[in-house]
Each structure stands twice: as C-alpha cells, then as structure tokens.
C-alpha cells in the first residue's frame, strides 16, 4: 500500500500578489509511515507552523529515518532556511513550543525538524 498526501499552505514569505504556495508532497515510504502513525492528520498544522515561524527558503523534504540499533522510526522534515542565525534559532525554539501545544505529544515526538542552509 502506497499513500500520497498533498498539502499546500499559504507562504507568508511571498508577496500578497503572488499565488504560489509552499507545497509538501508525501508518498511512498513517507506516505505509508504518516498514514500508519496518524501523522497525516497533523501535517497541515505542522506546515502552517513551519511557514509562520521559520524563513523557509526552498523545498521541504520529508524523510523516514530509522534507529539503527532498534525498531524506532520517525519523520524528519528537512527544511532549508535563510536569514540571521539568531532569528532562525528563535523560530526553531518557538516551533518546538508551538508544536507541543498544537498536536498530540505522540505526533510531536514522531516528527524531527532538520534545518539546513538554503
């Protein structure tokens, strides 16, 4: 079974006249993992938080990562960002706080955010 989940959210960093959006497409192993764990229900909120709190500068790449010593898995969102380091770190801290308040703890624990220069 392979699931495809398409999410599109408004990109606050774009001009109000542009009709583009910040997309996230989840399919294959990632889609299956999200469906199996119930993360699919929470991805829209997580994308809204990412868009609101971080200066996203490119395509967000979802990956399922595995614990090499155990059976644990989690979803990592690789997020390219640009801007001042201090602002990015403040946004990341706010993201972790808001994530814990916006989605069940099981979903928050199953998602990791990896920031990369973009």
| Beta strands 61-66; 21-26: pairing state | unpaired
For residues 108 and 101, give the distance between their C-alpha atoms in angstroms, rounded to a whole number.
9
For 69-87, what is each residue's pLDDT tens digit?
988 999 999 999 999 999 9
Q: Report the chain's terminal Cα–Cα distance, integer Å.
A: 33
* Per-residue model confidence (pLDDT) at position 23: 65
> HEC profile for 53-96?
HCCECCCCEEEEEECCCCCCEEEEEEEEECCCHHHHHHHHHHHH
* Per-residue model confidence (pLDDT) at position 44: 85
* Per-residue model confidence (pLDDT) at position 32: 92
Pick out the chain residues at pLDDT < 50: 1-21
User: Domains of the chain (ranges plus CATH)?
Assistant: 5-13+20-117 (3.30.70)
* Per-residue model confidence (pLDDT) at position 3: 46
């Amino acid at each position: 079974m392979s699931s495809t989940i398409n999410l599109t959210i408004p990109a606050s960093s774009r001009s109000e006249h542009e009709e583009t959006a910040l997309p996230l497409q989840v399919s294959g192993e990632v889609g299956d993992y999200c469906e199996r764990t119930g993360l699919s229900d929470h991805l829209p909120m997580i994308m809204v938080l990412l868009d609101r709190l971080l200066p996203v500068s490119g395509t967000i790449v979802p990956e399922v990562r595995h614990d090499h010593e155990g059976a644990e898995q989690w979803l990592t969102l690789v997020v390219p960002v640009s801007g001042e380091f201090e602002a990015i770190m403040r946004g990341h801290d706010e993201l972790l706080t808001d994530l814990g308040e916006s989605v069940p703890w099981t979903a928050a624990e199953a998602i990791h955010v990896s920031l990369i220069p973009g």
